[in-house]
C-alpha cells in the first residue's frame, strides 16, 4: 500500500495547491462534501484578517496578520508518495473565543476514505475549543462514511443544529426590476473599499464601526486568487450610498457559481434589493459559464423565496472531552 504522510501547510505553495485539490475533487462525490473554492479563498483572505481586527477599533494590521498565521498553522495536509494532496483538515474562524471555534473541516479525496478517522483525530487534537473543551463537525445526512467514523469516535448529535444544502439553476436572463433610485454596480467600476467595509458590517447587523472589516482585510480579500472585482457587486440608493452587497465566485472546472457574502442594510430590507442583486449575480455567472449555484448554511427563507430548492441537510455532531483532556 502506498504511504500517505501528514505534513504542515506551507503558505507560499499550499494555498493554491489545496484550492486546486478542492476544485478537482468537488464533483468526485455524488453530492459535494468538501468546501468549494470560494470558502477556501474567503477563509484565508477575508475571515482570518477580519476576525483578527474585529472589535479592536484600529487600522493596525498586526492582529489580522497574526490571525492569518494562526489559521495557516492549523492546516494539516495529507500527501501520497507522488506528492499529491489526498486530504486536508482545517478551521474557518481563527479566534479561540469565536462561537464556532472547535469546528473541524475535512476536505477529502474520493479514493481515500481510510483517512477520515485520522483527519478527524487531527482536528480533535489541534482545533479543540478551550472554553467548551469540545469539537464539532457538520455531516450531511447521506454521508454514511463520515457518519460512521463520527459515531465511532464518540460524537453526539447536537439538537437543532443543522444547515441546508440548497441549489439554484443559473438560466435566467437578468431583468432590472430595481425600485426607483437604486442601481447595481461592481467594484471594477469604482473600488469604494471603505464604504464596502461599512456596508458589509451594517448588512450583517453590526452598526458599530469597530466591528466592520478594516481596509487591510478588504485589501486582502481583493488579493484572493479567485476574487474578481467584476464579481463584487453593490447597490446604491438615490443618494449614492451603498445599501446592499454581494460577491460571487466562479469555479470554471465544475461550472458552479458560489456566493459569499450577501447582505442588505437593515433600513433598506424588504424592497427586493437582495433578490435583484442575485439576478445581477446570476447574469454575470451565466456569462462566465456557470450552470448552478449551491449554498449551504445560508438564510434559507430568503433563498427558498427566490427559487432555490432544498437538496439535503447536514447536522452538527459534537465530541466533549471534559476536564480530563
Ligand atoms: C437575507 C437578506 C439578504 C435579505 O435581504 P432583502 O434585501 O431584505 O431581501 P429581499 O427584499 O430581496 O427579499 C426577497 C424575498 O426573500 C424573502 N425574505 C427576505 N427576508 C426575509 C426574512 N427575514 N424572513 C423571511 N423571508 C424573507 C421574502 O419572501 C422576500 O420577498 P417579499 O418581501 O416579497 O416577501 C437580509 O435580511 C440580510 O442582509 N440579512 C443579514 C445577512 C444575511 O443573513 N445574509 C444572507 C446570509 S447567506
Q: What's the number of domains the chain is made of?
A: 2
Shared domain check, 157 and 200: no
What are the average pLDDT values for consecutive 10-residue runs of the chain, which has 325 residues? 90 97 94 96 98 84 96 98 97 94 97 97 97 96 96 95 96 86 98 98 97 96 98 98 98 97 98 97 96 96 97 97 69
What's the CA gap between 39 and 31, in Å, rounded? Answer: 17
In this prediction, residue 107 carries a pLDDT of: 98
Q: Do both 250 and 125 map to the same domain? A: no
Residues 176, 36, single domain; the answer is: no
Is 264 touching ligand 1 by the criterion CB < 6 Å?
yes
Q: How far is the CA of 199 from the centre of ligand 1 (A)?
A: 16
Does any ligand 1 atom lie closer than 6 A to the CB of residue 262? Answer: yes
Binding site membership of 298 for ligand 1 (Cβ less than 6 Å) = yes
Together in a domain, 264 and 140 = no
Instruction: Select from 206, 274, 303 the residue to mutate for testing ligand 1; criterion: most ligand atoms less than 8 Å from CB.
Output: 274
- Helices 62-74 and 215-222 cross at an angle (nearest 10°) of 50
Q: Are 113 and 87 in contact (CB under 8 A)?
A: no
Instruction: Confirm whether 192 is domain-assigned.
Output: yes
Ligand 1 atom 4 nearest Cα: 274
The answer for residues whose C-beta is within 8 angstroms of residue 282's C-beta and 6 or more apart is: 168, 170, 172, 174, 257, 293
User: Is ligand 1 within 6 A of the CB of residue 301?
Assistant: yes
Query: With a 6 A CB cut-off, is 243 part of the ligand 1 pocket?
Result: no
Instruction: Mark whether 46 and 103 lie in a shared domain.
Output: yes
Q: In the prediction, which pLDDT does 325 show?
A: 53
Give me the domain span that covers residue 212: 169-310
- pLDDT for residue 59: 73
Q: Which atom of ligand 1 is nearest to the CA of 261?
A: 48
- Within this chain, do residues 50 and 191 fall inside the same structural domain, yes or no? no
Residue 187 shares a structural domain with residue 295: yes
Q: Which CATH number goes with the domain that contains 129?
A: 3.40.630.30
Looking only at the bridges linking them, the beta strands covering 309-320 and 292-296 are unpaired
Ligand 1 and 305: CB distance under 6 A: yes
Q: Does 45 reside within a domain?
A: yes
Ligand 1 pocket check for 29: Cβ under 6 Å: no
Task: Tell me how long the chain is.
Answer: 325
CA of 147 from ligand 1 middle (Å) equals 33
256 CB near ligand 1 (under 6 Å)? no
176 C-alpha to ligand 1 centroid (Å): 18
Q: Is 295 a domain residue?
A: yes
Q: Distance between CA atoms of 141 and 278, rounded to whole angstroms? A: 28
Which residue out of 302, 304, 305 has the highest number of ligand 1 atoms within 8 Å of its CB and is therefore the one to mutate? 302
* Number of Cβ atoms within 10 Å of the Cβ of 206: 16
Question: For atom 8 of ligand 1, which residue has the closest CA?
Answer: 269
Look up the pTM and report it: 0.96
Statement to judge: residues 181 and 275 lie in one domain: yes
User: Are residue 173 and residue 157 in the same domain, yes or no?
Assistant: no
Query: For position 324, what pLDDT does the model report?
Result: 54
Residue 127: alpha-carbon gap to chain centroid? 18
Q: Ligand 1: does its nearest atom lie under 6 Å from the Cβ of 203?
A: yes
- Cα separation, 134 vs 101, in Å, equals 9
Q: Are residues 145 and 241 in the same domain?
A: no
What are the distances in angstroms from CA 273 to CA 144, 177, 180, 257, 270? 40, 9, 11, 20, 7
Q: Are residues 180 and 215 in the same domain?
A: yes
Residue 213 within any structural domain of the chain: yes
- The whole-angstrom separation of Cα 105 and Cα 130 is 17
Of the chain, the end-to-end C-alpha distance in Å amounts to 34
Helix (H) and strand (E) counts in the chain: 10, 12
Question: Is residue 270 in contact with ligand 1, taking CB distance under 6 Å?
Answer: yes
| Residue 297 within any structural domain of the chain | yes
- Rounded distance, CA 72 to CA 12, Å? 11
Looking at residue 103, the DSSP 8-state letter turns out to be B
296 CB near ligand 1 (under 6 Å): no
Whether residue 133 has its Cβ less than 6 Å from ligand 1: no
Structural domain contains residue 223: yes
Same domain, 155 and 181: no
Give CA–CA dist 242/86, Å, rounded. 43
C-alpha cell at 283: 447574469
Evaluate whether residue 248 is within a structural domain.
yes
CB 84 within 8 A of CB 67: no
> Does residue 325 belong to any structural domain of this protein?
no
Amino acid at each position: 500500500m502506498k504511504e500517505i504522510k501528514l505534513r504542515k501547510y506551507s503558505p507560499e505553495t499550499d494555498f493554491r495547491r489545496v484550492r486546486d485539490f478542492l476544485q478537482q475533487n468537488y464533483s468526485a462525490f455524488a453530492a459535494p462534501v468538501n468546501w468549494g473554492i470560494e470558502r477556501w479563498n474567503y477563509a484565508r483572505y477575508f475571515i482570518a484578517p477580519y476576525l483578527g481586527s474585529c472589535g479592536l477599533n484600529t487600522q493596525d494590521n498586526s492582529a489580522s496578520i497574526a490571525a492569518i498565521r494562526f489559521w495557516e498553522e492549523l492546516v494539516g495536509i495529507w500527501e501520497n508518495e507522488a506528492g499529491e494532496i489526498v486530504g486536508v483538515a482545517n478551521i474557518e474562524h481563527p479566534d479561540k473565543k469565536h462561537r464556532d471555534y472547535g469546528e473541524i473541516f475535512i476536505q477529502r479525496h474520493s479514493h481515500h476514505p481510510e483517512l477520515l478517522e485520522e483527519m478527524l483525530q487531527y482536528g480533535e487534537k489541534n482545533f479543540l475549543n478551550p472554553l467548551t473543551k469540545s469539537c464539532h463537525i457538520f455531516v450531511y445526512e447521506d454521508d454514511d462514511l463520515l457518519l460512521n467514523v463520527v459515531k465511532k469516535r464518540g460524537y453526539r448529535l447536537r439538537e437543532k443544529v443543522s444547515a441546508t444544502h440548497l441549489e439554484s439553476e443559473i438560466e435566467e436572463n437578468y431583468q432590472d426590476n430595481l425600485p426607483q433610485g437604486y442601481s447595481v454596480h461592481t467594484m471594477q467600476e469604482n473600488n469604494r473599499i471603505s464604504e464596502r467595509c461599512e456596508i458589509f458590517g451594517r448588512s450583517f447587523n453590526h452598526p458599530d464601526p469597530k466591528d466592520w472589516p478594516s481596509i487591510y482585510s478588504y485589501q486582502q480579500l481583493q488579493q484572493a486568487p479567485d476574487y474578481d472585482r467584476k464579481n463584487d457587486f453593490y447597490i446604491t440608493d438615490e443618494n449614492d450610498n451603498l445599501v446592499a452587497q454581494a460577491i460571487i465566485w466562479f469555479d470554471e472546472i465544475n461550472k458552479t457559481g458560489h456566493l459569499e457574502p450577501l447582505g442588505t442594510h437593515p433600513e433598506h430590507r424588504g424592497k427586493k434589493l437582495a433578490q435583484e442583486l442575485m439576478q445581477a449575480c446570476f447574469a454575470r455567472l451565466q456569462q462566465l459559464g456557470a450552470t448552478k449555484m449551491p449554498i449551504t448554511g445560508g438564510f434559507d427563507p430568503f433563498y427558498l423565496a427566490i427559487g432555490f430548492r432544498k437538496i439535503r441537510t447536514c447536522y452538527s455532531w459534537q465530541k466533549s472531552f471534559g476536564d480530563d483532556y
